[in-house]
Amino acid sequence: EAQVTQNPRYLITVTGKKLTVTCSQNMNHEYMSWYRQDPGLGLRQIYYSMNVEVTDKGDVPEGYKVSRKEKRNFPLILESPSPNQTSLYFCASSLLAVGSYEQYFGPGTRLTVT
Amino acid sequence: AQRVTQPEKLLSVFKGAPVELKCNYSYSGSPELFWYVQYSRQRLQLLLRHISRESIKGFTADLNKGETSFHLKKPFAQEEDSAMYYCALSGRGETGANNLFFGTGTRLTVIP
C-alpha cells in the first residue's frame, strides 16, 4: 500500500532530551516536508526537501534539523526539545515539488515536551 | 508574500443546508489552490484542486482572481462532511522554492 509512515505516533519527553521522529514513504516521491499543527495556527512548514541531500527551511525551522540521505526517509530531529515544541507533527510527500501535485500525509506524531 | 486566510475557525450547519467555507489568498503570481480535508482520526488528504475544476463528494470550489478567493461550496451538507478543512496555496515562498502554504483551517460541523 502506498503510504507515508511516521514513528513514533505519540511521544512524551523532557526538555533537552534529543529525539528523532522518523518519516518514510514508499512512493518514490522526490519532495518531502514536515509540518507542525497547532490550534488556531493551522499547518506551518518546518523543513522541506526537494530531493536526496537537498533540504531547506520552511516557515518555522528554529529548533529543528532534518536530513535526507535516502529518497524514502526524511527524519525530523529535535536536538534539545523545549515545551514550545509540543505539537502535532505531520510528514508529507509528493511526486515532485508541489505545484499541482497532491501531497500525501502521514498519520501524525503527537509530541509533548515537559 | 503569499498568505491564505480562512476567516471562520468554526462553522456549523444543519444537514441538508448549503455550506460555504471561505478562503481568501494573497499571492503576486498565478496561484494554484487546493482544499485539504481531515476527517476525525484520519490523515489529512486532498479534497480538490482548482486546476482540475472537479466536484468531489459534492464539493466545488471556483477560483475568483478578482476577489482573490477560493471558497468551498456544497449545496446540501451531509453529516459525514463534518471535518477540518484547510485551504492551501502552492507558490514560491521567501526562499524561492515552490511550497504549499496552508490557511488556519475551518472546522465544519453538520448538525443532524
The alpha carbon of residue B34 is apart from the nearest alpha carbon of chain A, in Å, by 9
Cα–chain-centroid distance for residue B15? 20
The mean of the pLDDT values for chain B is 90
* Beta carbons of B46 and A35 less than 8 Å apart: no
Q: What is the 3-state secondary structure (H, E, C) of chain B?
A: CCEEECCCCEEEEECCCCEEECCEEECCCCCEEEEEEECCCCCCEEEEEHHHCCCECCEEECCECCCCECCEEECCCCHHHCEEEEEEEEEECCCCCEEEEECCCEEEEEEC
The alpha carbon of residue B48 is apart from the nearest alpha carbon of chain A, in Å, by 9
Q: What was the pLDDT predicted at A98?
A: 64
Q: Which three cell numbers, joined as nine digits, stand for B51?
A: 486546476
- Indicate if the pLDDT at residue B92 is higher than 90: no
Q: Which tens digit of pLDDT belongs to each residue from A50-87?
A: 999 999 998 899 999 999 999 999 999 999 999 999 99
Task: Please report residues of A whose CB lies closer than 8 A to that of B51.
Answer: 100
* Distance separating alpha carbons of residues B49 and B71, to the nearest angstrom: 12
| Whether B72 contacts B55, CB under 8 Å | no
